Amino acid sequence: MSAGEWIAIISGISGAIVAIIGVIISGLTARSAARKDEISSLRDAIAILQVENERMQKRIQSLEIEIQEREQRILFLETSLREQTQARAEREETIHKMEVEIMTLQDQVRTLQNKESAATDEILSD
């Protein structure tokens, strides 16, 4: 084999090696670009999720404040109901006492009327 043939064979082999290395580099570059796109996409997704998280945190805080306000309102209503129930029971007790007093007074009036009637009958019969 002549030197020219050797040079041609070596050139062919080196061209093939360069082509293979080129394919490998382009594959790695494409993969690197894909990873960069994936990373960029993930960063965008993270940014969107962070914004959504902040919005949800604000909503949760708003709902917690609303719940606290409702609990305070319920507590106020329960206290008011308890006070009204107690006042009603006291009024009913007062009414019962007054009814008893009225019956006692009616008995006393009847007793006095009977005594007056007896005294009048006694005076008239004398």
Domains contained in the chain, number: 1
pLDDT mean values, one per 10 residues, the chain (126 residues) = 67 76 72 71 84 88 91 96 97 96 95 87 74
pTM (whole model) above 0.85: no
- With respect to residue 4, please indicate whether it lies within any of the assigned structural domains: no
Question: What six digits make up the tokens of 74?
Answer: 């319920």
Strand locations in the chain, DSSP E? none
**Residue labelled with tokens 């994936």:** 38
Domain around 38: 9-109
Q: How far apart are CA 74 and CA 67, in angstroms?
A: 10
Q: Is residue 92 part of a domain?
A: yes
Is there a domain that residue 126 lies in?
no
**What pLDDT does 34 receive?**
65
**Tokens encoding 76:** 């106020």
Residue 34 lies in a domain: yes
Is residue 114 in some structural domain? Answer: no
What integer pLDDT is reported at residue 20 of this predicted model? Answer: 79
Structural domain includes residue 121:
no
